[in-house]
Amino acid sequence: MGRIEACPIPPPPGLPEIEPFEIAPLEDPLPFRNREEFERFLCDVYIFRTTHSTTFHGRHNVECLGIFSPNESESIERCCLQYASHTEEYPTEFECFLIGKITSHNHPSGQTFSRSDIVTWADLPLQEIRVVAPYNVGAYRTYSIKRLNQRRPTWAEMKCVINAQDWGLHNFDSNPNYRHRCFLLLHEMGFFEYSVDPPIQM
Ligand SMILES: [Zn+2]
């Protein structure tokens, strides 16, 4: 129904439980049926029009996570809220539910995937992870990391490649432009398909 609950992870230390996000009328189903409609909802409603979803609240930012079936219809299976900076792992049952799925969430930072995004994608694994992020007033970018054929690279393999770069793994978490470059490199090396729309001018 018209209510998005928090993901089943405890809030980080010192932060309150996330309040459910209600969409009136409550009796109606959520106003999106698939991945495309969900991402439109993120842009039109969730990002900027929801006080807890923007960068103004620092580490209290709340992301909205949509989980979709990996078939052609990409229909929504579940939707929930989580702290952007969460470091807790999902409970096993929720992880099992995520295996092989497509997920999409907003990044209040406006930046590409975080380390925990790529680790989750690789280790579960997920079919595809997507991020919707504002990069200018009223403009949004979508980032995608998709499995390539049947390849199932591990985070350990990717970490080796990143470690061999001049900047190593150092700065990977703190520098989103460097993360973007690492993802481009891993794409070129065939680890996955990484795409950004519209592209970032480097
Ligand atoms: Zn993320």
**Which phi and psi angles does 147 have, rounded to 5°?**
-65, 145
CA distance linking residue 92 with residue 131, whole number of Å:
23
What is the number of other CB atoms lying within 10 angstroms of the CB of residue 62? Answer: 23
User: What separation in Å is there between the alpha carbon of 82 and the centre of ligand 1?
Assistant: 10
Q: What is the pTM of this model?
A: 0.93
Angle, CA 115 vertex, CA 108 and CA 107 arms, to 5°: 10
> DSSP letters along 123-172, please?
HTT-SEEEEEEEEETTEEEEEEEE--TT----HHHHHHHHHTSTTTTTTT
Percent of the chain with pLDDT over 90: 69
97 pLDDT more than 90: yes
Classified as helix, coil or strand, 98 is: helix
Q: Which two tokens stand for residue 96?
A: 């099992």
User: What separation in Å is there between the alpha carbon of 132 and the centre of ligand 1?
Assistant: 9
Which residues fall within 8 angstroms of residue 72, CB to CB, at 6 or more apart? none
Condensed to tens digits (0 to 9), the pLDDT of residues 147-157 reads: 998 789 999 99
Q: In what order do the strands lie in the sheet with 21-22?
A: 21-22, 3-6, 76-83, 62-68, 102-106, 128-136, 139-146, 193-197
CA distance linking residue 39 with residue 101, whole number of Å:
16
**Binning pLDDT at 50, 70 and 90, where does residue 59 land?**
low
The separation between CA 7 and the C-alpha centre of its own chain, rounded to angstroms, equals: 13
- Rg for the chain, CA atoms, rounded: 17
CA distance linking residue 127 with residue 152, whole number of Å:
10
Overall fold of domain 3-149+193-197: Cytidine Deaminase; domain 2 (3.40.140)
Condensed to tens digits (0 to 9), the pLDDT of residues 22-31 reads: 988 888 889 9
For the chain, give the longest Cα–Cα distance: 55
User: What separation in Å is there between the alpha carbon of 72 and the centre of ligand 1?
Assistant: 23
pLDDT at residue 21 in the model: 92
User: What separation in Å is there between the alpha carbon of 120 and the centre of ligand 1?
Assistant: 10
User: What separation in Å is there between the alpha carbon of 28 and the centre of ligand 1?
Assistant: 28
